[in-house]
Amino acid sequence: MNVVLISPGYPAEMPHFTRGLAEVGARVLGVGDQPREALDPELKRSLADYLHVRNLWDEDATARAIHAWTKGRSVDRVECLWEPGMILAAKVRAALGMPGMTVEETLPFRDKVVMKDVLAKAGVRTSKHQRATTANEVRAAAERFGLPVIVKPVAGAGSADTYPIRDGADLERALSALGNVPEVTVEEFIEGEEHTYDTVCADGEILFENVAWYRPTPLVAKLNEWISAQSTCLRDIERPEVAIGRQLGRQVLRALGWRTGFTHMEWFRTAKGEAVFGEIGGRPPGARLVHAMNYSCDADLFRGWAEAVCKGRIEQDLRKKYNAGVVFKRAIGQGRIRAYEGLDRLMARYGEHVPVVDLAPIGAPRRDWKSSAIGDGWIVVRHPDLQTCLALGDAFASELRILAG
Ligand SMILES: Nc1ncnc2c1ncn2[C@@H]1O[C@H](COP(=O)(O)OP(=O)(O)OP(=O)(O)O)[C@@H](O)[C@H]1O
Ligand SMILES: [Mg+2]
């Protein structure tokens, strides 16, 4: 089976998916804007061929280049697991005359307003929302919904340019900060606990599902440097408080006609116990959440995705054995990382429950906490008991300090 895979080397998780494809016997035809020489040697071993294009985002030219490059070879699938490339992948499918998601079917996954319009029409509980291109349209929508609201780009990612608005001063501040964003969505602000609902599907059938609990919400983590955010994959997703999110997510998959591949959804559980839909990506989650899923099942979902795509089934035991949480650390201070405080003590106490400690090395410059989801390091903790797993995560969140300067 020949699979065209767009951007096999970036972002960080992509080489794992590329390896997964190669392991299930696919010939991976990679296309990316990284020069071949810049690719990791291990990634190169997973690729049967590679096309370097200068500008991946000149979508029509890239689709034409792929068409010419694959002439005379049979291509079975075109895949892209990186959200900005989803429309490109659909255009390549059209250029090659291949089945799979079309541009039109992909649009709701890339435009938050189209997404919510389709979902609201299908009866999915989601926030009220309104597209806005001028400051006055933003003000009018805020007036109509009543505060608090949230303002964010229609094609946002990583909570960038996302502003919660609780009063008039917040609104004016957000408007001046949003000067360079051409189009935003204004949404009713949903107060609640935020979770993911992630799936791997084949031909419309859900083969694997996961719910992770964000502590705190990505927005709160994005606004407060001192926070060590945690995402915990739950072992028990049958509990009613969690099952309501799965039901909502299944409704979304049906409404959008999703068939094959990884999806990543976000939903809120309000204080009243209602599930409200946040958003869906037609791609795996980033920020090491697939790793956390793997540690929750002792499985390999990078390969699992490849099995789903190439064989329509996953031949692994995907039962969840653990709750598995990933904790993200941000260094304290500026400049270079100089010490890890508390790590030895934590590892001596809890090491058997900690399969991953991946911290920026001593001497490395600390990262920009606003633009990096991982920050200066990530740790995975796991335990069959949820409360114990949360306590383990909290210990690493509060007692491990990465010092810079
Ligand atoms: N209507 C809302 N009510 C409350 N909080 C919201 C709302 N919309 C977004 N948020 C918060 O802002 C975060 C980012 O918003 P959203 O998920 O829509 O954008 P994104 O930038 O695409 O996210 P991602 O980080 O998943 O790429 C959400 O995870 C949530 O914490
Ligand atoms: Mg999101």
Are the C-beta atoms of 380 and 315 separated by less than 8 Å? no
- 265 and 354 in a single domain? The answer is yes
Measured from the alpha carbon of residue 285, the closest ligand is 1
Domain count, the chain: 3
Q: Are residues 381 and 233 in the same domain?
A: yes
Looking at ligand 1, which atom is closest to the CA of residue 219? 31
Q: Domain containing 135: what range?
A: 128-188
Q: HSE-up of 50 (CA within 13 Å, CB side)?
A: 21
Residues 163 and 289 in one domain: no
pLDDT value, residue 159: 80
- Work out the pLDDT band at 197, boundaries 50, 70, 90: very high
Question: Do 180 and 199 reside in the same domain of the chain?
Answer: no
393-405: per-residue pLDDT in tens?
999 999 999 999 9
For residue 215, give the ligand nearest its CA.
1
Tens of pLDDT along 323-349? 999 999 999 999 999 999 999 999 999
Is residue 382's pLDDT more than 80?
yes
Distance 219 CA to ligand 2 centre (A): 9
Atom from ligand 1 closest to the CA of residue 158: 25
Does 232 lie in the same domain as 174?
no
Query: How many other β-carbons are positioned within 10 Å of the β-carbon of residue 380?
Result: 25
Which residue is closest in CA terms to ligand 1's atom 30? 219
The CATH number of the domain where 157 resides is what? 3.30.1490.20
For position 360, which CATH number holds? Answer: 3.30.470.20
Residues 225 and 238 in one domain: yes
pLDDT interval class at 207 (50, 70, 90): very high
The reply to whether 65 and 134 lie within a common domain is no
58 pLDDT above the threshold of 90: yes
Q: What is the pLDDT of residues 105-117, one digit of tens each?
A: 999 999 889 999 9
* Residue 18 included in any domain: yes
Domain boundary among 154, 188, 222: 188
Q: Would you say residue 118 lies in a domain? A: no
* pLDDT value, residue 61: 96
Q: Do residues 77 and 142 share a domain?
A: no
23: tokens are 């392991």
How many angstroms does the Cα of residue 22 sit away from the middle of ligand 1?
34
Distance CA 292, CA 211 (A): 11
Distance 8 CA to ligand 2 centre (A): 22
Residue in 152, 184, 262, 289 to alter for ligand 1 test, most ligand atoms within 8 A of Cβ: 152
Contacts of 169 (CB under 8 A, 6+ apart): none
Q: Which atom of ligand 1 is the closest one to the Cα of 264?
A: 26
Instruction: Tell whether 198 and 312 lie within a shared domain.
Output: yes
